[in-house]
Structures are given as structure tokens and as C-alpha cells.
């Protein structure tokens, strides 16, 4: 369980969060709402990429400020809308999620996110070079490789920031299936603008500019679509 309690944060002297409170539980947690309201900011605060001004964040009752940054990040996987891939092979880019993993485990992670068949179809397979920041791959392929890396890392917390924003329909479907399969084991926080992807009975946090609030649970997804359109 992740708890944000009375969080205050400003960026370049501009207030972003003022007294923000929210609880994220094991399973699927969606963050939706206005642009610029602080949705991505809470993920970065959770990873200690930004310092808190006021308030505290707890994971299973322990304040993150009392946890070494390296230990905190070992338990969190975060994927952005434009995931970072370094100039190396597909295998190396997945393997970095867990350097002690075997080739079979790397392939298993790729199969879990439905990217193995694509990789196997390439002339050099897993040794295919992706180019700087994955320029030789499509957006959907990059996202699935980044997700395979997160699956291989096997952290209890997964953060997804608009990962289906600019990818093809098949890749979007594959990623959503993976996320749905992981919900029983992980705490997954998903920032999205696409209400069609929200799975019913999930925890949903709605951000309004200047005053974030939590919607009642459970929420009807149809009504939710109207609220965020």
C-alpha cells in the first residue's frame, strides 16, 4: 500500500501539489485528470526524483524518506511514454532489468509481454541492435521491450506514465493484457488519458487543476468517460 499524506510540491516556483492525499493499493490504480495538475509529478516523488516540500509518502507503513534511494528504486519499475533504450541489443536492453537473469528468463519476460515472436522474426533475433534510444524500433515495440524489462525486474510496484499514448492498437492491447495479468501480484499506478483502457473496479484518482480529489469507489466506467472527455 502506498500513501501520499498532505503532499506539497512546487516546480520553478509554481505550486503543483498543495495538500495532496491519496492511497494506492495492490492491483490497478489509475490516475486521470487535467493536464499540468501533477499526475506525473506524484510518480517522480514516489521514486525520490524530486524532494518533498511538506508531507510524507509511506509504502506499507514505512516513510520513503527513511529508505535509502537505491533500495527504494530496486522495488519500483517506472516506464514513461517515451521509454529509454540504450544503444545495444534487444537482449541487453531487457537484461538490464535483472542482470542475474538467464537468457531463458529474458525470453520468458518477452513472451509475457507478447514481443517474443517479433524479436524471433528478426534476422539477428535478440542480438538485434536497437540504435540510439531505440530509433530502429517502433513506439509499440519500444514500449513492450521496456515492459519486458520491468517484468524481468519483478518489482512489487510498477509505474506507467502514458505508456499507450502513441502506439498501435495491437501493442496497446498487448500491454493492457500484461498489466491486467499482473494486478493480483503488484501495485500498479497508471497515468492515462484514455478512459477506454480503464478496467472496471479499479482504484481511480482524479486530478483537477489546483484541487486533486479522489472519486468514490467503485466507479462506473461509462460515467467516468464523460467526466474526463
Same-domain pairing of 67 and 96:
no
Residue-wise DSSP of 198-217:
PPTT-EEEEE-TT--EEPPS
As for how many domains the chain has, the answer is 2
Boundary residue ending a domain (154, 182, 207)? 154
Same-domain pairing of 130 and 171:
no
Domain extent, residue 207, equals 1-75+157-229
Task: Please return the burial class of 212, using the count of CB atoms within 10 Å of its CB with bins 0-12, 13-18 and 19+.
Answer: buried
Same-domain pairing of 60 and 166:
yes
CA distances from 209 to 7, 98, 99, 120, 181 (A): 15, 38, 41, 46, 32
* CATH number of 40's domain: 3.40.50.300
Boundary residue ending a domain (125, 154, 183)? 154
Q: What is the pTM of this model?
A: 0.84
Same-domain pairing of 166 and 70:
yes
Boundary residue ending a domain (119, 136, 154)? 154
Give pairs for 126-133: CB < 8 Å, separation 24+.
126/89, 126/90, 126/91, 127/89, 127/90, 127/91, 128/89, 128/90, 129/87, 129/88, 129/89, 130/85, 130/87, 130/88, 130/89, 130/90, 130/93, 131/87, 132/87, 133/84, 133/85, 133/86, 133/87
List, for residues 2-48, the tens digit of each pLDDT value.
999 999 999 888 888 999 999 999 999 999 887 777 889 999 999 99
Same-domain pairing of 144 and 128:
yes
Q: How many residues in total does the chain contain?
A: 229
Same-domain pairing of 128 and 148:
yes
Full pLDDT tens readout for the chain, 229 residues: 999 999 999 988 888 899 999 999 999 999 988 777 788 999 999 999 899 999 999 999 999 999 998 899 899 999 988 888 999 999 999 999 999 999 999 999 999 999 999 999 999 999 999 998 888 999 899 999 999 999 999 999 999 999 888 788 888 888 888 888 898 899 999 998 887 888 878 899 888 766 444 544 443 333 333 333 3
Same-domain pairing of 148 and 169:
no
List CB contacts of 209: < 8 A, sequence separation 6 or more: 34, 36, 37
Please state whether the peptide bond connecting residue 218 to the residue before it is cis, i.e. omega within 30 degrees of 0.
yes
**Dihedral over alpha carbons 137, 141, 142, 146 (to 10 degrees):** -150
Amino acid at each position: 500500500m502506498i500513501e501520499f499524506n498532505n503532499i506539497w510540491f512546487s516546480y520553478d516556483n509554481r505550486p503543483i501539489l498543495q495538500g495532496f492525499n491519496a492511497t494506492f493499493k495492490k492491483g490497478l490504480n489509475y490516475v486521470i485528470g487535467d493536464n499540468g495538475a501533477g499526475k506525473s509529478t506524484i510518480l517522480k516523488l514516489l521514486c525520490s526524483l524530486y524532494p518533498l516540500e511538506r508531507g510524507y509518502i509511506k509504502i506499507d507503513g514505512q516513510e520513503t524518506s527513511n529508505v535509502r534511494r537505491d533500495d527504494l528504486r530496486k522495488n519500483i519499475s517506472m516506464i514513461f511514454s517515451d521509454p529509454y533504450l540504450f544503444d545495444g541489443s534487444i537482449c541487453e536492453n531487457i537484461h538490464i532489468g535483472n542482470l542475474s537473469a538467464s537468457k531463458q528468463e529474458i525470453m520468458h519476460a518477452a513472451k509475457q509481454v507478447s514481443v517474443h515472436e517479433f524479436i524471433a522474426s528478426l534476422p539477428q533475433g535478440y542480438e538485434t541492435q536497437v540504435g540510439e534510444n531505440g530509433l530502429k524500433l517502433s513506439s509499440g515495440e519500444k514500449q513492450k521491450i521496456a515492459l519486458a524489462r520491468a517484468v524481468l525486474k519483478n518489482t512489487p510496484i510498477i509505474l506507467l506514465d502514458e505508456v499507450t499514448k502513441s502506439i498501435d492498437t495491437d501493442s496497446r492491447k498487448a500491454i493492457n493484457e500484461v498489466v491486467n495479468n499482473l494486478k493480483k501480484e503488484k501495485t500498479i499506478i497508471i497515468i492515462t488519458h484514455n478512459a477506454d483502457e480503464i478496467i472496471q473496479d479499479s482504484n481511480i484518482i482524479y486530478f483537477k487543476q489546483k484541487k486533486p480529489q479522489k472519486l468514490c469507489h467503485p466507479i462506473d466506467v461509462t460515467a467516468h468517460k464523460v467526466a474526463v472527455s
